Structure 1
Amino acid sequence: MIIDKLTTPYYAVIFSTIVSEDLDGYLETAERMEELAKEQKGYLGIESARNKIGITVSYWQTLDDIVLWKNNIEHTEARNLGREKWYKKYQLRICKVESEYGFEK
């Protein structure tokens, strides 16, 4: 699902991943992280796609909101599991979105 227009400025956290062969518990944890993120201050939405490379973009009101999410205990535990077990590689980028536009038929 593509998120409809958000009020700018806001922040996008782009999380790109290559997963390992051992994905035991991965989908359940990813779903839990999405549910938990929705409860966090400043959360605006999420978009995700996976093929050979997974890309998840979450949207936040402020940089402070992103830091609070990063430091959430359950999120930290999931991140540690990802490093130990599920990811061969990941890259995280934080961007300030100053304008946006789109199209829909």
Structure 2
Amino acid sequence: MFAVIFRAKVKELDQQYSEMAAKLRDIAMNEFGCTDFISLTEGDQEIAVSYWPSEENIKNWKQHSDHLIAQSFGKKKWYSHYQVEVVEIKRSYASA
């Protein structure tokens, strides 16, 4: 299992962003095997964590045409800075 951690400094989040985020979440979950996707914004900081069965799924998702468009808008309009980390989950547990 892998996770993608996306952290960003928000520049401007508009209606186009909201629509694109919802669309991309659906595509990630329904077409690329994403098992969970959590996103929070506080002030000018955003963090999103998504969970994936493989690195291949993540790479394919990154190259999806709608995701490429969103990446371009993110760089030009929505974020002043962002960072992406892909991590492998070695162990996971939860309380009952």
Task: Tell me the equivalent position of 1:67.
Answer: 59
Matched, 1:38 2:33: no
Task: Tell me the equivalent position of 1:77.
Answer: 69
Structure-1 separation of matches of 2:69 and 2:21: 12
- 1:95 corresponds to which of 76, 87, 94: 87
Stretches of 4+ moved more than 3 A in 1?
none
Based on CA coordinates, which of the two structures has the bigger radius of gyration?
A: 1
CA shift, 1:22, in A, is: 5.6
3-state DSSP of counterpart to 2:31 = coil
Task: Tell me the equivalent position of 1:25.
Answer: 16
Task: Tell me the equivalent position of 1:7.
Answer: none
Structure-2 separation of matches of 1:22 and 1:51: 12
TM-score (norm 1): 0.82
How many residue pairs get aligned? The number is 95
Whether the 8 Å contact between 1:20 and 1:85 is mirrored in structure 2 is yes
Structure-1 separation of matches of 2:7 and 2:95: 25
Higher helix share: 2
2:34 aligned partner, one-letter code: Y
CA shift, 1:85, in A, is: 0.6
1:90 aligned partner, one-letter code: Y
| Identity across matched positions, percent | 31
Structure-2 separation of matches of 1:32 and 1:21: 18
Unpaired runs of 5+ residues, structure 2, are none
After superposition, what is the alpha-carbon deviation per residue over 1:47-105, rounded to whole angstroms, capped at 9, x for unaligned? 1211031110011111111000000011101111111111011100000001112235x
